[in-house]
Amino acid sequence: MTLNLGVIGTGAIGRDHIRRCSTTLSGARVAAVSDIDPVQARAAIAPFESEALLFETGEALIASPSVDAVLVTSWGPTHAAFVHAAIAAGKPVFCEKPLATTAADCLSIVKAEAATGKRLVQVGFMRPYDSGYRALRQVLRDNTLGTVLMIHAAHRNPTVGANYTTDMAITDTLIHELDVLRWLIEDDYVSAQVIFPRRSRHARADLRDPQIVLLETAKGIRIDVEIFVNCRYGYDIQCEIVGEEGIARLPEPSAVTLRHQARLGTPILTDWKDRFIAAYDVELQDFIDGVRDGALKGPSAWDGYAAAVAADACVLAQRTGAVEPIVLDRAAAGV
């Protein structure tokens, strides 16, 4: 039976998910859309599903019997209310990151979902679906590196928009590392510190760029992540895991090697959308399959909460310069 999806928020990622559900993935169709801009919502769905329903509000879409499962792709501050409404309606919900804009709101979602006794929430962290990160995790699971000691990572963008602020380096950029590194090493963070090196002249005067985030995990692994959002040369994601028996690196995206004009090299991507494009397909197909099988497997509400708690500590550490603790409230969550 085809799964009827309702999409709330038809901006950039919402439209992209509508396209992939309608043209690339199997087992689902977009049966309903909603956006505060109804003209845009109608235009987003029109090329794919002429019979899709248009709802005035996300709440009405969630309540509709025409919708089996919900994709929340609206602005971050709206996510928590829509996810709560989906849980209350007993409908599976895929929520783009962030699950909620505060750790407290993430925790309330964890509790609401737990109270139903069912897994209903998947958070849109796509890097665990990237083939390179999956291969890296397999190396760790095979214990090829022995005990993991350190991780050196980097998240570099060529440039950022005028509205990008220093704390967004954590909440919008580092948030993906916070999720995927925790998933890779199957360990939780216990502290964070942020160091600001010399500022790049390419960064706006009010933006601290680059930044180095230092994390420590419960097992004592030390992680450094360079965030450099005006690096100029490309969109570049690096991850090197250092173990007692060896080192493993995230593979580079595949590209043709060129011997050209006395140079040997491969191009570097410049647009973040291209870097994980395949992972978005695998991620959403996994949600569709998980709903149909009655067993969601992707990033959970707890993962969304864990990322939010770590991000809060990093933002605080930006201001204090101190080592800030990262504490997950397992007792309150009942896990």
Residues that bind ligand NAD (CB under 6 A): 8-14, 34-37, 40, 58, 73-76, 78, 96-97, 124, 126
Q: How far is the CB of 276 from ligand NAD (least distance, A)?
A: 7
To the nearest 5 percent, what fractions of the chain are helix, strand and coil?
Answer: 40, 25, 40
Shortest spacing between CB 10 and ligand NAD, in angstroms: 5
CA 254 from chain centre, in angstroms, equals 22
Torsion of CA 229, 150, 217, 237, to 10 degrees: 30
Q: What is the dihedral of CA 126, 295, 14, 303, to 10 degrees?
A: -50
Rounded to whole angstroms, the Cα distance separating 235 from 275 reads: 8
Nearer to ligand NAD, 13 or 185 (CB): 13
Work out the number of other CB atoms within 10 angstroms of the CB of residue 326.
22
Residue 274 CA to residue 278 CA, distance in Å, equals 8
Q: Each residue of 35-58: b (16+ CB within 10 Å) or e?
A: beeeebbeebbeeebeebbbbeeb
Q: Which is nearer to ligand NAD, 59 or 216 (CB)?
A: 59
The minimum distance between CB 92 and ligand NAD, in angstroms, equals 18
Q: What is the number of the residue whose Cβ is closest to ligand NAD?
A: 11
Measured from the CB atom, is 13 or 140 closer to ligand NAD? 13
Residue 245 Cβ, how far from ligand NAD at the closest point, in Å? Answer: 33
Closest distance of CB 18 from ligand NAD, Å? 11
Q: Which is nearer to ligand NAD, 77 or 334 (CB)?
A: 77
What are the angstrom distances between the C-alpha of 69 and each of 33, 53, 299? Answer: 12, 14, 16
Q: C-beta of 15: minimal distance to ligand NAD in Å?
A: 8
Maximum separation of any 2 CA atoms in the chain, in Å: 64
CB 173 within 8 A of CB 121: no
In the bound state with ligand NAD, the residue whose beta carbon lies nearer, of 154 and 279, is 279
Q: Give min distance, CB of 9 to ligand NAD, in A.
A: 3
Nearer to ligand NAD, 86 or 248 (CB): 86
Q: How far is the CB of 44 from ligand NAD (least distance, A)?
A: 8
Task: Encode burial over 257-288: b for 16+ CB neighbours within 10 A, e otherwise.
Answer: eeeeeeeeeeeebeeeeebbbebbbbbbbbbb
SS3 245: coil
Nearer to ligand NAD, 133 or 148 (CB): 133
Give the C-alpha separation, 274 to 279, whole Å: 10
Return the number of the residue (36 or 278) whose C-beta is nearest ligand NAD: 36
